[in-house]
Amino acid sequence: MESWNMTDVPARTFSPLSNCTVDTSYRFTFYQASYGVIFVLGLATNSLALRRLCASPRTMNSTAIYMLSLSAADLLFIVSLPLRIYYYHHQKARALSSEAADPPTWTQGAAYCHLTFFLKYISLYGGIFFLVCIAVDRYFAVVHPLASTLRRLRVARLVSGGSWCLVLGLSVSLPLLHSAARRPHQPCLLDPSSQRQRAIILAALALVQGSFLLPTALLLCSYGRVLGVLRKQGQRSRGQRRSRRHALTIIYWVLGIFVLCFVPYHVNLLGYTLTHVGLLQHCGLAKVTKAVHPVMLSLASCNCCLNPLVYYFSSSRMHREAHGGGGSGSQ
């Protein structure tokens, strides 16, 4: 169930790199362990965040709306993890059996494949989009503090709905592209042996990278302006100093999630795909990206455990804003 499952495609498919192989059998055990931990932690943290958000309607401001969407997207992915764990348990058992020498197969059906990909992309790009929404919301709260809380609340509902449309559209489009490049009679395994299928894989790669780079640029611009304003603000009271530290904590935490979870995954995916479709002829890069791909994918999946911490860091701010404490001094 790797991003494009090309680690399960026989090496002979890629004639330029037919002798460039690396053992990734560790991924079966690694995925089971990492997804098990992510399932337990993600279910606990996101359920608690959703419960507190829904139980506190008086603190429902623009940040809370984005956090509500973020937790919902994460939970959709978390509930799919038992399906992924089962798949890797099945693959590990098969690899240890007499069938280990046979070509890789997919026996769970097309619907199972598409569902797991669909939920994965909802979490991955829902996490990216809604974290960017929080960054832009912080930008308006700090750089344009005269904007009313009520206006930001109305805008947040519209932006959240639009973001969900983008996330769902992307989450449907990528599995469809995946299906168009699949191997015959194997709904979840890619076959980049033909020019048409390689073109489809590269189109999906461009869509994935664009869906990461554009929101990231928006996030960096927003937080860059916020940091600039915070540096210029005076610190005349203890409350202002505490509020400034609080805002910086949120900014650094969101940036940390991007650096830890999203950047390594998308950088590795770029090299991984280009080498394994034969567009980039580099055996060393092919080996490295293939070997570390399970680790990068698990790191990307960890975002659903880390996202709720943004809520915990911002909860006191949401409480203040909901009770009229917003403004440049409290941002």
* CATH code for position 175: 1.20.1070.10
Neighbours of 242 (CB within 10 A): 13
pLDDT, residue 153, reads 82
> In 3D, which of 179, 27, 35, 175 has the Cα closest to residue 91?
27
What confidence score (pLDDT) does residue 145 get? 73
Is position 9 within any domain? Answer: no
pTM: 0.82
The pLDDT assigned to 44 comes to 93
Long-range contacts made by residues 276-280, C-beta under 8 angstroms, separation at least 24?
276/6, 276/9, 276/14, 276/17, 276/192, 277/14, 277/192, 277/198, 277/201, 277/202, 278/14, 278/15, 278/16, 278/17, 278/192, 278/198, 279/198, 279/202
Compute mean pLDDT per 10 residues along the chain, 331 residues long, and list them: 42 51 86 95 91 74 87 91 85 64 53 81 93 89 71 85 95 82 61 76 92 95 89 64 75 91 95 87 89 94 90 62 43 36
- Domain assignment present for 250: yes
Q: Is residue 242 part of a domain?
A: yes
Q: What is the pLDDT of residue 12?
A: 39
Q: Is residue 66 a part of any domain in this protein?
A: yes
**Counting Cβ atoms within 10 Å, is residue 294 exposed (0-12), middle (13-18) or buried (19+)?**
buried
Residue 6: its pLDDT value, please?
Answer: 41
Overall number of domains in the chain:
1
- Residue 209: inside a domain: yes
Determine the residue type at 243: S
Q: Residue 1: inside a domain, yes or no?
A: no
Query: Could you tell me if residue 11 is inside a domain?
Result: no
Per DSSP, 189 falls in state E
- Give the structural domain span for 313: 24-102+111-330
- Considering the domain boundaries, does residue 268 fall inside one? yes
Confidence at residue 313, expressed as pLDDT on a 0 to 100 scale: 72
pLDDT at res. 297: 93
